[in-house]
Structure 1
Amino acid sequence: MERLEVTETFAGIALPGHLHTAESLQFATKFPFRDTDVVIVTYPKSGTTWMQEILTLLYSGGDAQPAKTIPNWERAPWLEQIHFRSSLRDTATHRLITSHLPARVLGPWLQGSKAKVIYVARNPKDVVVSYYHFHRLAKFLPDPVSFDAFLQQFLEGKVHYGSWFEHVKGWLGQRQLLDIIYITYEELHKDLRGTAQRLSAFLGITLEPQTLLALEQHCSFAAMRDNAMANYTLIPPEIMDHSQGRFMRKGVVGDWRSHFSPPQNALFDRVYHEEMHDTELSAHWAMV
């Protein structure tokens, strides 16, 4: 398939060339946001698909038909990817847009609009485990070699899409500059109903009881895992080797404990403390 082996470098970040070109990335940094746009921003494997599904249900008033018939990459397309312009629903009252770009790249451009930004973060220990398995699945990402090697690259910020630490801290720094809300994967897992209520208030959506009920049913992990419009099984095996596992693998909190050795955990804790000790992140995850 086209550009599967290509790595595109942009703003010092390595990105899969199968999904990004220099032109698509430059376009992303100059995109004319509307004040009514809703932008989902995440580091990879942090709950992006989950948030795409939740917003689909919120804006459809609980009608699951769009989520069951339209792929999520068309409902909330990726700003920096090649197919963004052909997928964007330009006539939608509230355009849903997704991005993995760091704040230093995208933040300045967003600051010129009143677009609402939803930032989703996840325990980085679970992120690195999920990301490792995704590298084994996705043929447009480098071979992770081993979990130990991948963990080291992750801690050094030498994986595709760059440093998790830079990404989270950069977007936390946008608190006073953007109309932004911060959600964690762990909050979604623990209290989907309450988080949906927070989101609807942030977005100015009246959340009817039937909408909330439909959202809870459709946005459970089991429902999303079995929904071809969300689970990426529509992607051909030449691009995602589905024999290596599922895109939506477990959807649990704390799976890192079954992957980390004691030395790996000690190393991660040390780097995490060095990087995050002075941040204002109100984490909803356990590092032990």
Structure 2
Amino acid sequence: MSENQELKRHCLLVPVKGVLLTEHIANNYKAVSAFCPDPSDLLIATYPKAGTTWVQEIVDLLLHNGDSETCKRAPIPIRIPFLENTARLGIPSSLDLLKAMDPPRVIKTHLPFHLIPKGFWENKCKVIYVARNAKDNLVSYFYFHKMNLTHPEPGPWEGFIQKFMNGQVPWGSWYDHVKGYWEEREKRNILYLFYEDMKENPRREVERIMRYLDLSLSDDVISRIVELTSFEIMKENPTTNYTFMSKPVFDHSLSTFMRKGEVGDWKNYFTPEQATEFDEDYEKKMKHVNIPFRTQL
């Protein structure tokens, strides 16, 4: 590992209103919380590695009538700015990007519900939330930590499970994250999607998103969007696979950004003892909500 990478691995996690954020995002949170969206703006919110890029690309294609060339106009974080991201390592500040864009804009965030700028709710912006079952989300986040050199070193797998269960990872507790948006979904008109539903029947979920956006596209365009947003196509698309982000940000030799995109992959990593401990902890943390997660199809 180079000196530059070593420096990046000394990333600090700083608590903001009870949620751990990477230091550069925590230091920028005051400016982010003051952001005032236009009522026409759309927010795509997720816990990290829950299908964010997938839904971003679906939305961009829906808004551009399935025109794949238009949707390759720029890498996805330029087309759809990452709200809390700061200017660093050659990447523009998302707040600056948003200032230069005319509404309606599509914006991405990993912030939990209570850290979302209040303007999104005051202006009744549409919000799409994507949730992925905890075990698969954990595996994907572990590998993302390996390759994302701006995140703390994940350490061994068995230790990372504990960090995830305790919310000691960037953007905090998965449990609080998925529950926060679930409990507010009807009051705030949040379209709450499940990664597993998208894998099971992508066309059905693309049509759900289309209707939520008050769009009406032809069957042929819908079919094209489903094809263009398949895991295989997106993994080869240089505007969505994050190969445009190289060292010292992402080290693709450690893990690819788009790794497997499967449901049930957790079975290849959890030992029976780890699965039992995780399930018991999950039951305690999720006992007061009935979110219909599936860990296999």
Interval containing the TM-score (normalised by the shorter chain): over 0.9
Look up the equivalent residue of 1:79 and give its one-letter code.
L
Task: Return 225-234 or 204-213, whichever deviates more.
Answer: 204-213
> 235, 239, 248: which is aligned to 2:249?
239
CA contact (8 A) 1:154 1:163 kept: yes
Look up the equivalent residue of 1:170 and give its one-letter code.
G
> 62, 72, 78: which is aligned to 1:74?
78
CA contact (8 A) 1:21 1:81 kept: no
Task: Return 84-93 or 267-276, whichever deviates more.
Answer: 84-93
Work out whether 1:183 is the aligned partner of 2:193. Answer: yes
Runs (5+) with no aligned partner, structure 2:
87-92
CA contact (8 A) 1:155 1:163 kept: yes
> 23, 44, 54: which is aligned to 1:50?
54
> 204, 216, 239: which is aligned to 1:194?
204
> 248, 251, 258: which is aligned to 2:261?
251
Q: Equivalent residue of 1:63, what SS?
A: coil
Which residue in 1 is equivalent to 2:120? 110
Work out whether 1:286 is the aligned partner of 2:286. Answer: no
> 10, 13, 16: which is aligned to 2:19?
13
Q: Equivalent residue of 2:122, what SS?
A: coil
Q: Write out per-residue CA displacement over residues 228-269 of structure 1, whole angstroms, 9 at most, x where no aligned residue.
A: 111111112222111112100001111000000011000110
Aligned-pair distance for 1:183? 0.4
Runs (5+) with no aligned partner, structure 1:
none
CA contact (8 A) 1:64 1:214 kept: no
Work out whether 1:61 is the aligned partner of 2:70. Answer: no
When residues 115 and 157 of structure 1 are mapped into structure 2, their CA distance, relative to the original with a 3 A threshold, is same
Q: Equivalent residue of 2:45, what SS?
A: strand
Work out whether 1:30 is the aligned partner of 2:34. Answer: yes
Rounded Cα–Cα distance in structure 1 between residues aligned with 2:284 and 2:11: 33
Look up the equivalent residue of 1:52 and give its one-letter code.
Q
Rounded Cα–Cα distance in structure 2 between residues aligned with 1:109 and 1:89: 15
Work out whether 1:264 is the aligned partner of 2:277. Answer: no
Which residue in 2 is equivalent to 1:41? 45
Q: Write out per-residue CA displacement over residues 123-182 of structure 1, whole angstroms, 9 at most, x where no aligned residue.
A: 110011000011111111111111100001100111111000010111112124312110
When residues 137 and 249 of structure 1 are mapped into structure 2, their CA distance, relative to the original with a 3 A threshold, is same
Aligned-pair distance for 1:287? 6.8
Look up the equivalent residue of 2:198 and give its one-letter code.
L
Which residue in 1 is equivalent to 2:227? 217
> Which stretches of structure 1, 4 residues or longer, exceed 6 Å deviation after superposition?
none
Work out whether 1:85 is the aligned partner of 2:95. Answer: yes
Q: Write out per-residue CA displacement over residues 8-58 of structure 1, whole angstroms, 9 at most, x where no aligned residue.
A: 52223222335x252x31122121122111100000000000011000100
Which residue in 2 is equivalent to 1:173? 183
Which residue in 1 is equivalent to 2:149? 139
Q: Equivalent residue of 1:88, what SS?
A: helix
Q: Equivalent residue of 1:244, what SS?
A: coil
Task: Return 152-161 or 234-243, whichever deviates more.
Answer: 234-243
Task: Return 176-185 or 261-270, whichever deviates more.
Answer: 176-185
Q: Equivalent residue of 1:80, what SS?
A: coil
Rounded Cα–Cα distance in structure 2 between residues aligned with 1:232 and 1:137: 11
Q: Write out per-residue CA displacement over residues 32-85 of structure 1, whole angstroms, 9 at most, x where no aligned residue.
A: 122111100000000000011000100001101133231110111111111112
Work out whether 1:101 is the aligned partner of 2:129. Answer: no
Look up the equivalent residue of 1:286 and give its one-letter code.
T
Rounded Cα–Cα distance in structure 2 between residues aligned with 1:93 and 1:159: 33
> 131, 135, 158: which is aligned to 1:121?
131
Q: Equivalent residue of 2:197, what SS?
A: helix
CA contact (8 A) 2:129 2:190 kept: yes
Rounded Cα–Cα distance in structure 1 between residues aligned with 2:62 and 2:100: 19
Task: Return 83-92 or 187-196, whichever deviates more.
Answer: 83-92
Work out whether 1:226 is the aligned partner of 2:236. Answer: yes
Q: Percent identity?
A: 34
Aligned-pair distance for 1:278? 1.8
Rounded Cα–Cα distance in structure 2 between residues aligned with 1:255 and 1:67: 30
Q: Equivalent residue of 1:168, what SS?
A: helix
